Structure 1
Amino acid sequence: PFLFSPGGISSFCNSRGPCLFLSPTSDESKSESARRPGERSPFCYSPGQFFFEYLVVVSLKKKLGGDYEPKIIYQFPKRENLLRGQKEEEERLLQAIPLFCFPDGNHWAPLTEYTSETFSFVLTNVDGSRKIGYCRRLLPVGRGPRFPEVFCIISCLGCFGLFSKILDEVEKRRQISMAVIYPFMQGLRECPFPAPGKTVTIKSFIPDSGTELIELTRPLDSWLEHVEFRALLQRLSPENILWLFASAVLERRIIFVAEELSVLSQCIHAVAALLYPFSWAHTYIPVVPECLIDTVCCPTPFMVGVQKRCLEQVLDQPMEEVLLVDLCEGTFLRSVGVPGPLCPNCKSSIPFSASEQVNTHVSEAFIQFFVKTVGHYTSHLKWNKSGQGSFQEKAFCKDVTSKSCRKFVKRFVRTQMFSLFIQEAERSRITQEGYFQRKVTEYQEQKKKQRRNS
C-alpha cells in the first residue's frame, strides 16, 4: 500500500475506500537510515533519471446518486507487460491519485471562471520510496459552466519550482488543445533529469507559434529545490514562524488551515524544510482529503493541512493537544505552551523582502541554529573495531554550555528525527561532506580561531 505522507500515515484505496495505519513502518526507517548524515532527503535521485513516471488528468464525473467523484480520464504513458506485483502497485497508485487531486470532496458545481492553482502531495510506499504528485488545477477552455481538471505529474524527484514551470507549459498548451500537451510531455520524459545547477533544453512545437526552446534549470542548492519560503513569510509573523519551528522540532501535532490548496502545500513544505538537516518522520499530509479528516485525531505527531471550510468539522473532532495555525489570519487558533527554543538569532535573520535569495537566507538562519546546538554530534560518536558507531548521548548533552540550549538538546535527542539522523551517522566513520557538515566545520574553525586570539 501507499502511505499518504513522507512517514507516518498509510492509506490505500480498495473497494471499501481508504484504510489507515497510523504508524511509521520499520522498512521506511531503514530506507531513511541508508542516507548520509546532513544530506537527508525524502526524495531519491539518480543521474539520468526520468523527469516523471506519469502524467494523469483527473476530472469530476457524476455518480448514480448525483454526487461527483474524481476520476482519471487520461494517463501517459500507458504501461504494458507489467509483472503481477508491478501491476497491483500501479493500480493502487492510480486509485489514490484522484483523492488528492480533489481533496475538497463533492463541494463542486460547474463553473465559468476559476483561477488555476498549483499544489502537491506525497505518497510513500512501504519500502520507503516516495512519489510526489505535482498538480495544476485549471478550468479548461470552453463555453458555459464546466468542471475544473487537474493535471498531475507523478515523479520521485523533489523539485517543486522546476515542476511548477513544467505545469505552466502544460496549462499554456491546454488552452490550445489537449493534443498539444502530449508531444511536450513525451519530449520531457525522454530527457534526463539535470544535476544540481544544470539546465536541460526541450524543443516543443506549438501550432501558430512554431518550435519553442524551453529551458529547465535545477537549483544548485538541492536541499532547497522543493521549497518556497515566501508564502510562509507573507502569512506569519517572525514570532509565529519561530513558535511553529520550535513545535515542529519537538515533534508536536500541527494543523494548518487555509482557503487555497496552493497556500497549504507551500507553507507545509516550507515548515518541513526549516528542519534541515533533519526530516519530519511522522504523519505529513499537505492537504488532507475531506474523507480523511479524522486524521487530526491521531495520537502521534503529525503535520497536516486542512481547507478552511472544514474548520468546524476539525474542531468537532476529539483531538489531542495541537497547534492550529490559521494561515488566512496569520494567527494560532489553538496552541500548546511555549515550546522553546524560540532562537532569537533566527528571528533577526528572517528576511521579509522580495529578495530572490530569500530561500537561502531563511534556511541559513535555521541551519545555524542546528549547527550551534547539535553540530558537535560527531565528537560524541565512539567506534568499535568493526567500524560500528555508538552515540554517547549523556556526554553530548553535557557538552552544551548554555543551560537553555542544554534543556532543548535533552528534549531534542528523544525525537525520532534526531534518532534517524544519528542512526545514519553511526553507520560510517567516514564523514560525508554535505552542506550541513561544511557549516559545522566552518563554525568549529571559527571557535578555534577565537580561542587562539583571546
Structure 2
Amino acid sequence: ASEGKDGASAAENTPPQLPQGKQGERSSVFYSAGQFFFEYLVVVSLKKMPDGHYEPKITYQFPKRENLLKGQKEEEERLLQAIPLFCFPDGNNWAPITEFTSETFSFVLTNVDGSRKIGYCRRLLPSGRGVRLPEVFCIISCLGCFGLFSKILDEVEKRRQISMAVIYPFMQGLRESPFPAPGKTVTIKSFIPESGTELIELTRPVDAHLEHVEFQALLQRLSPHLILHIFASAMLERRLIFLAEELSVLSQCIHAVAALLYPFTWAHTYIPVLPECLLDTVCCPTPFMVGIQMRHLQRVLEQPMEEALIVDLCEGKIIRAVGDEEEILPGKLQNEMLISLNRHNNNNNVHTSEQVNALVSEAFVQFFVRLVGHYGSHIKWGRSGSGSFQERAFCKAIASKSCRRLLKKFVKTNMFSLFIEEAEKSRIPQEGNG
C-alpha cells in the first residue's frame, strides 16, 4: 500500500466481500445502514508561509472530539495531518484569485488496520470582493456514496455563502440522523436565515455496490474499446495511470474503473488524486491505480517506471501501453461487451445516471459469470465445513482456449485469491453457473 503522510495510507486495499443473496448486497461496514453519516467536516485553507508559498492547513473541524483514548488520539492526528495534502493535491502553486469554478472530488485513506475512510471534497472560492484564496470543505466518512455526499456538499456550499455559522446546525442535524438503508430516504430539517426552515431529502441508491460510481464519466471520455483495454489491464492487476486536469474527472473515472471489477475488489495501491509530493509512486514495481493532474505529464514520463498503461482522459487516448491489451480478453466475450457498451453510449441522453450504472455494471458482471461463475462447484468441502479450492480442475472446466488462457492468469491475481479465500470460509457452496 502506498502510504500517505504519517501512516494514513491512500491505498484502498480491503478484501472483497462475496455477494450474498441479491447482487449488490455486501456485508462490509462500508455499506451498512444506521451509523453516522460522517466522522468529521473539516475546512482546509491556504496559509501563506514566511517564504511566500501557500500551505494547506485545517482551519475548522466539526465535531471537536474530547476525551479520546491514546490510540484514538493518535489515529485522529494521523488522519488530520493527511487530509490537507489530499484536499490540495496540486501542490503550492496558488495565488489569490477573483474567479474559480467550484469542483467536487474524493480520496480514500486506508488506516494501518485496513479500515478505510473517504474524503468527499468541495473546493470553492468564498464569497466576497477582490482577490481571495480557494478553500476546501471535506467530509470524512466510512460510507461510500458519492452522489449523496455531493448533495450534502451542495447544502454546505449554499450555507457557506451566507456564513460559516449556518453550516454548524445543518451538520449537527445530519450527524444526529442515521445513514439510510439502500433505497430509503432520510429528511433533515435545516433553518436558513431569511429563507426559513428547509426540508432536505437524502435518498440512498438501491444498489449498494454502485453508490460511489458514475460510469457516464468514463463513457463520455473514453471509447468502449479503450474502456475494455483498461478493464483488461486492471483485471490482470497491472500499473494504471490516469491523467486529467480536473480533480473531479480523475476521482470519478478511477472510481468507475475500480467498480468495473465487481464482484472483485482492486487490492493494491489506489489513489484517485495523487498529491504532487507523492509522484514517485509511479516508480513502484507493484500494481497501482492512480490519478495525476495533466500538468505533471512530463515529470511522470521522465520517471524510471516499470511497464504501465497511461491514459489521457482529456483527449480520450492511451499515451503509453504494454502492447498486448487487445489480446487479453477472449474475442467473443470482448465483442459482446463492446456491443453492450456501444448501446449504452448511444443512449447516454436517454438513460438516467442510475440506469447507465446498472446496465454497464451488468455487462461486466455477466463477463465474470461466464468466465468464473463455475467456481462454486470447484470448492471441495470438508466435514468441518471449510472449503478447498481446486484450481486446476476449475481452469480445465472451461472449453474455450482463449478463456482458459485468461483464466490461468486471473487465478494468480490478488483479487481472485482474496475472493476465493472468502468463498472457502463461507461454508455454503455457491451454485455453479456453468
TM-score range, shorter chain: over 0.9
Deviation sequence 1:188-237 (CA, Å, 0-9, x none): 00000000000000000111111110000000000100101111110000
The question of whether the paired residues in 2 share the 8 Å contact of 1:196 and 1:221 is answered with yes
- Within the candidate set 311, 315, 339, 2:297 is matched to 311
**In the TM superposition, what is the alpha-carbon distance from 1:385 to its structure 2 partner?**
1.3
Q: How many angstroms does 1:384 deviate by? A: 1.1
Identity %: 74
Question: Which residue of 231, 249, 261 corresponds with 1:275?
Answer: 261
Deviation at 1:338, TM superposition (A): 2.1
SS in 2 for 1:248: helix
Q: Deviation string for 1:377-404 (max 9, x for gaps)?
A: 0000001111111000000000011111
> Is contact 1:36–1:425 with CA below 8 Å preserved after alignment?
no
1:153-183: CA deviation from partner (whole Å, max 9, x where unpaired): 0000000110011011111111111111111
1:222-267 alpha-carbon deviations (Å, 9 max, x no partner):
0100101111110000100000000000111000000100000000
Q: Report what 2:4 is aligned to.
A: 11
Q: Which residue of 190, 198, 204 corresponds with 1:204?
A: 190
Q: Deviations over 1:132-159 (max 9, x none)?
A: 0000000000111111010000000000
Structure 1 counterpart of 2:52, from 66, 69, 72: 66
Asked if 1:423 is matched to 2:421, the reply is: yes
**Alpha-carbon spacing, 1:198–1:22, altered in 2? closer, same or farther (3 Å):** closer
Q: Distance in 2 between matches of 1:43 and 1:176?
A: 36
Alignment-mate amino acid for residue 388 of structure 2: S
Alpha-carbon displacement from aligned partner over 1:317-352 (angstroms, at most 9, x marks no partner): 101001000000000000012231162111111111
Q: 1:102 to 1:232 in 2, by over 3 A?
A: same
**Whole-angstrom CA distance in 2 between matches of 1:43 and 1:71:** 30
CA contact (8 A) 1:256 1:325 kept: yes
Equivalences for 1:164-203 in 2 at 5 Å? Answer: 164-203=150-189
Partner of 1:44: helix, strand, or coil? helix
Superposition CA RMSD, Å: 1.9
Structure 2 residue aligned with 1:266, among 252, 259, 266?
252
Q: 1:162 touches 1:218 (CA, 8 Å); kept in 2?
A: yes
Gaps of at least 5 residues in structure 2 are none
1:386 aligns with 2:379: no
Q: Supply the distance in 1 between the matched residues of 2:124 and 2:144 (Cα, whole angstroms).
A: 22
Q: Is the 8 A contact 1:232 1:270 kept in 2?
A: yes
Q: What is the deviation of 1:295?
A: 0.3
Amino acid at match of 2:329: P
Contact between 1:279 and 1:417, CA under 8 Å: does it hold in 2?
Answer: yes
Q: Deviation of residue 47 (structure 1)?
A: 3.3
Amino acid of the structure 2 residue aligned with 1:148: P
- CA offsets, 1:267-293, max 9 Å, x none? 000000000000000010001000000
Q: One-letter code of the match for 1:137?
A: R
**Cα 1:137–1:401 shift into 2, 3 Å:** same
User: 1:72-114, CA deviations, whole angstroms, 9 ceiling, x for partnerless residues?
Assistant: 0000000000011111110110000000000001111111000
Paired AA for residue 381 in structure 2: W
Match of 1:341 in 2: 329
| One of 208, 224, 231 as aligned partner of 1:238 | 224
**Contact 2:388 / 2:424 at 8 angstroms: preserved in 1?**
yes
1:26-77 deviations in Å (ceiling 9; x for gaps): xx66xx3676677668762443200000000001001111111000000000
Q: How does 1:86-105 map to 2 (within 5 A)?
A: 86-105=72-91
Unmatched segments (≥5 aa) in structure 1: 1-7, 14-18, 432-436, 448-454
Q: CA deviation at 1:12?
A: 3.0
1:286–1:221 Cα change, 3 Å:
same
Q: Out of 330-339 and 368-377, give the one that drifted further.
A: 330-339
What residue number does 2:400 align with? 402
Residues in 1 aligned to 2:397 and 2:111: alpha-carbon distance in whole angstroms: 39
Q: How many aligned positions are there?
A: 419
Structure 2 residue aligned with 1:75: 61
Structure-2 change in CA distance of 1:414 and 1:344 (3 Å): same
Q: Give, in whole Å, the separation in 2 of the partners of 1:258 and 1:315.
A: 15
Q: Residue 106 in 1 paired to residue 104 in 2? A: no
Q: 2:205 is matched with which residue?
A: 219
Distance 1:168 1:318, change over 3 A: same
**C-alpha distance in 2, partners of 1:325/1:111?**
31
Contact 2:273 2:290 in 1 (8 A): yes
Amino acid at match of 2:95: A
2:101 matched residue in structure 1: 115
Change (3 A) 1:218 1:34: closer
Say if 1:130 and 1:156, in contact at 8 Å, map to a contact too.
yes
Q: Which residue is 2:117 aligned to? A: 131
TM superposition score normalised by structure 1: 0.89
TM-score, structure 2 length as denominator? Answer: 0.93
